[in-house]
Amino acid sequence: MAGGFFSRRRACDRRSSITKVLCSPLAVHATVLLLGGSKMGKQKAVSILVTLALVVAAGAAFVLWPKHYTVGQRISETTVFWNDREAFLFLAETTTGRAQNVFQEKLAGTRYGYLAVFLGGYMDFTKAEVVAYHLVSSGQLDRFALPEHTVAFGSWGLTEGRLQLTASPVATGNGFRWDGEKFVSLSAPPAANAQPKAAAMPNPNLTEDDLENDDEADDSGPLPKSERKPFKDAGWHYKFLSGYVGQGSAATLPINLAGRTFNLTVESFPLKNIVARFDFMTIGTRSIRLAGDKLAGGQQTLWNQSGWRDVSKQDYQDLQRQYGRQFRTPLSSGVWLLLVAFLLLWRFGSWIHVLFTFATIKSRVLKKMPTSYSFPPATPAQFPMLDLDALDRYTRELEGMGFTRLLDFSLVSDSATNPPSFCRLFAHVRHHCFGELSQIFPKGKAPLPLKCCIQSCLQNGWSVSFASRKPLAAGSLLQRKKAIGVFMPDVPIPELLPAFLKMRDQVCFDLGISPVNDDTLQAYIDKMQRAIGEMREAVQEKNFVKGVPEVYLRKFSLMKTKPEYVWLGDYPKEAEQRRQGVNSFAVGAR
């Protein structure tokens, strides 16, 4: 996966297309509830109370058990600039933490480690910072501290021949520039720019300037096309190295300063680690080293993945308060557990009976799921509860990034449980993707927030979607093998599009495919009709004995918002199989 994106990601979970079929998750939930209305005899009531007591006791023990607090760092991207006199190295580092008890730790070490994410205590905070190095032709290497509240990503440029990073307008921090002796803060950002495209092919022998992309480059990314010529005219070279450069091996970038060569080596973990173990500290960059005959002190390790390290509870809570959401004590979680248990007993007293009727749940869910959609035009005035302010704001942002409006419509299915919805569809003819603003109005409940989704169809039936909302708990029943989805709750749209493009480029590269370049309304309609058929197939193949409890585990885990939820499907497995096939072919051709 793309390094810049997966530095922040990874409280991994979900998919994209489920935001368009809210009726299906509601049908799953309603089906489970409808099975619990029969009268209970004395023996059955006692059994329920005993079972519920055991569940509450187990849950309380889980919540109150002492936790182990750890933090870890990852490198999302390494940026290098150099000319004949000096070089600058910027390491975008992300610090995150996890608080787990012994049960969660044991679970994380098994093949079902992804379930540990649903139990909380994972990715409780995210702290992003930049580590800067300055190298001169004499071989002197110095590490510099950047000003406080500086951003890790933005738009690079030159001012009076000196390097500077300008933050995007939506960023919460400032940029910085080099004044000849140190880095100073830089404010007043220009328009936001997208992240650069990934390299076309992995190569352990790296070259400067990303020359293979210059002809196709647009005026976006950390180094817009309009800025590249001034860099080259001034004798500057540049390279953006993701956490996956080298595809699991070491990749070396030669840096020439005044006739002396210094080699920057970036080593990454094998991609198979994503499948083998659910641990973000074993994904992406493993180490970064700098070597050269004239390097003062000899070869130096600039960064090395040291895994998770222990911290005190107080230090962990301080980091969480500063860089994450408000810390919740075990006592409040226990109170919630008891309240939920009481409500389950009061309202769904015969839930044990549901456990013995899983065989009929699947057929009922499939019966309630839609088989097709229609897309009648709609106007905002038809929906009194529509968030018009958010609709206008997001529309301006999408159109400002090059999206063209196609249609305002209401998504109507042939299911009897179809909630009203308003959707505004956009297309981006240059990036070949769709943007969608949607708000759903469940009957008898408050409307869901109006959010954005950016999606694209790829060859061979693959798709990639990014959404700025939280996933739905029942979405685990609808996950498809070739539908990659990322949920980034409350991320600004100007940041959502670059992350989407970077992820899509990496998926296309890893799988040897390309985006489908049909940006018409009919193409979108055809995609939606195919998607509902694929979701029905996913439900048909799902093991509901395992799937229904997973839905409720997710429902509890989603009470705490995480930075990202990711569903990768079969992408890691097929990418690894393709890489091994290419390597085998190369060996056989020798």
Question: Mind spelling out the 3-state secondary structure of 66-119?
Answer: CCEEEEEEEEEEEEEEECCCEEEEEEEEEEEEEEECHHHHHHHCCCCCCHHHHC
φ, ψ dihedrals at 238, nearest 5°: -150, 160
Q: What is the pLDDT of residue 567?
A: 84
pLDDT tens for 463-480 read: 999 998 887 766 667 778
Residue 133, SS3 per DSSP: strand
φ, ψ dihedrals at 174, nearest 5°: -110, 165
Q: Report residue 378 as tokens.
A: 């709609």
Q: What is the pLDDT of residue 50?
A: 66
Amino acid at 224: P
Q: What is the pLDDT of residue 376?
A: 92
Q: Report residue 418 as tokens.
A: 């179809």
Q: Where are the beta strands (DSSP E) in 441-495?
A: 451-457, 463-467, 483-487
DSSP of 193-231: -PPPPPPSS--SB--GGGGGGTTT--S-SSS-HHHHHHH
Q: Report residue 19 as tokens.
A: 């935001």
The neighbour count for residue 291, using CB atoms within 10 Å, is: 15
pLDDT tens for 109-151 read: 666 665 555 555 566 788 888 889 999 999 999 999 888 778 7
What are the mean pLDDT values of the chain's consecutive 10-residue runs (590 residues total)?
Answer: 38 34 30 33 55 69 79 89 92 87 72 59 76 92 85 82 83 84 76 45 58 50 75 88 76 91 89 59 86 90 90 88 61 52 55 54 73 89 94 95 94 81 94 93 88 93 90 72 87 91 93 92 88 80 69 65 77 89 58
Which of 413, 501, 402, 397 lies closest to 450, judged by CA? 397
Q: Residues 334, 341: contact at Cβ < 8 Å? A: no
Q: Report residue 184 as tokens.
A: 């100073």
Q: What is the pLDDT of residue 442?
A: 85
Amino acid at 53: A
Please state, in angstroms and rounded to a whole number, the distance separating the CA atoms of residues 505 and 240. Answer: 15
pLDDT tens for 159-187 read: 888 888 888 777 777 888 898 888 888 87
Q: What is the pLDDT of residue 197?
A: 45
Which of 568, 574, 456 lies closest to 511, judged by CA? 574
Q: Residues 447, 469: contact at Cβ < 8 Å? A: no
pTM score, whole prediction: 0.45
Tabulate helix, strand, coil % of the chain (nearest 5).
35, 25, 35
Residues 6+ apart with CB under 8 A from 446: none
